[in-house]
Amino acid sequence: MLNNSKLMVVLFISIAFAITGCSVSKPVTDGADKRNRIEKKSPERKTHVAKRLSSSKKVFDRGFVGTWIVEGSTAEFTINLKDGMVIFSGRDMEDRESFYVRFIHWDDSTFKGSFLMPSTRHNTIVELSVLDDNRLRCEYSGDSSGESIWWRK
């Protein structure tokens, strides 16, 4: 059974899967080994997504900018602004594996992202809202669902 930390990582990985455009194919049998294969839909998988601020008519809340530690998990995410772009990335701090990020979107008060953890093939979709200067509220869905708090690093 997965502990909470691994479950959160699995959750956030699921979102990354959705972000990269990858899909899980039917099980492949090569004699002794049965496993799911990841097939790429795009030429390369992305470990971050950048979206131009002007591409959205919504206001970007700068309270989302920072590096965030996910409560009860080994996941760490970064939301940055650079050259008019919002950049989102994440990784598991335990094994340093990066999430594949599929998409990001924001409106006046929420930031949404989707990502996959390649090693476990778990997809996660998050919807973040700013609680205060040091905390984000996260509602997640995908391979599992629930709520968590992201703490500023």
pLDDT in tens, the chain (153 residues): 444 544 444 444 444 434 444 333 223 333 333 333 333 333 346 777 777 766 666 678 889 999 999 999 999 999 998 888 889 999 999 999 999 999 998 887 899 999 999 999 999 999 999 999 999 999 999 999 999 999 999
Domain that holds residue 84: 4-24+45-152
Residue 40 resides in a domain: no
Q: Is 143 left (phi over 0), alpha (psi -120 to 50) or beta?
A: alpha
Residue 33 resides in a domain: no
Residue 108 resides in a domain: yes
Residue 32 resides in a domain: no
Residue 17's pLDDT is 39
Residue 64 resides in a domain: yes
Q: Are strands 34-35 and 66-70 parallel, antiparallel or unpaired?
A: unpaired
Tally the domains of the chain.
Answer: 1
